[in-house]
A = this chain, B = another copy of it.
Amino acid sequence: MKALVTGGSGFVGRHLKDYLVSMGDDATLLDPTVDIANEEALSRAMDSLPSGSIETIYHLAALANVGESFGSSHEVFRVNVMGTLNLLEAARRVFPGARIIIVSSSEVYGRVSPNLLPVDEDSPLAPLSPYAASKAAAEQVAMQAFRAYGQRVIIARPFNHIGPGQSDSYVVSALAKRVLLAQRGGIGSIRVGNLESRRDFTDVRDVVRAYRQMAEVGVAGKVYNVCSGQSVSISWLAGRIIRLAGAEVVLERDPRLARDVEVSDIYGDSSRCRSELLWKPAISIEESLKDVLEWWSIHLEAD
């Protein structure tokens, strides 16, 4: 399968590329210096690819930091919404038959009342952050292209990712890094934000498998939750990290580190992915955390 990956230099993109290559796919990364929100620049970049060669496009390029999006909504919309619009238009011209996996986010569901969990793909969208709103908006762009032009768009709504190589602006990766740093520095405690939030975590390597499976057998115009189907609390994860690292570190709660607009618990209904894509997560949280710790221990040593 000849694939184009946007956002291929990001955390998920790197794992996706590795996986596609391991499966024998021919994966091209869109030049990461191309500003996808710039219609002409993206057009030129797409035109420069061998014509008719791309069967699948994985659209991962996005500004993905939820917290930061509150201070940069204009840029977030520019990249995530206008970028998706530009990508679909260029693809329609250059690779009209391509399947296009549009990576959205479970953030589009917003705060879901406990009695409505797990959230399935038909749950109402109620974005809380500019990031979430931009993803909900990009979904509208993508679905319109499917309805009006028959573009073979499939929307992925991944829940939280974990895995080696993730930036420390994400909670699990940050905790792993800070636990290791505390351990090495002989520091007995680290300050953390809201530990009671519960999230549905999937290893990034399982997530990218789901994306390829979507491209293989997913139905155009459909949305797929990518998730484990259950949530765990950040405090539980932090405890596992400390234990796996063999560290003696205490967590100190600091309310100033908690996000303004916070979802207390969310987990997805993964049955569509399981039944239609025959996909399920293969990597346990324990394994993920071990790999995250190992990744940080290598990268902290390199510093």
Contacts and interface: CB of A to CB of B under 8 A. Distances in A.
Interface string A116-145: 000000000111111011001110110110
Nearest to A73: B85
> Closest 3 CB pairs between A and B?
A137-B137, A133-B144, A136-B140
Contacts of A89: 73-74
Interface stretch (A76-84, A244-252, A286-294): A76-84
A120 to B, nearest CB: 14
A110 B148 CA distance: 10
Interface in A62-93: 70, 73-74, 77-78, 81-82, 85-86, 89
Contacts of A138: 137
A125 to B, nearest CB: 7
B110 A127 contact: no
A147 B128 contact: yes
Contacts of A136: 137, 140
Of the candidates A81, A127, A132, the one having the most CB atoms from chain B within 10 angstroms of its own CB is A81
Contact of A86 (B70, B74, B82): B74
Given A126-B143, A130-B148, A137-B141, 9 more contacts: A77-B141, A81-B137, A125-B140, A126-B147, A127-B140, A128-B144, A128-B147, A129-B144, A133-B144
Chain A residues touching B, majority SS: helix
A261 B146 CA distance: 12
A303 B257 CA distance: 66
Contacts of A132: 144
B148 A261 contact: yes
Nearest to A86: B74
A39 interface: yes
A74 B90 CA distance: 12
Contact of A39 (B74, B81, B144, B260): B74
A77 B89 CA distance: 13
A155 to B, nearest CB: 13
A261 B74 contact: no
Contacts of A126: 143, 147
5 contacts: A70-B148, A77-B81, A77-B85, A78-B82, A81-B81
Given A133-B140, A140-B137, A140-B140, A147 B82 contact: no
A129 B70 CA distance: 29
Contacts of A129: 144, 148
Given A39-B74, A78-B82, A141 B148 contact: no
Contacts of A74: 39, 82, 85-86, 89
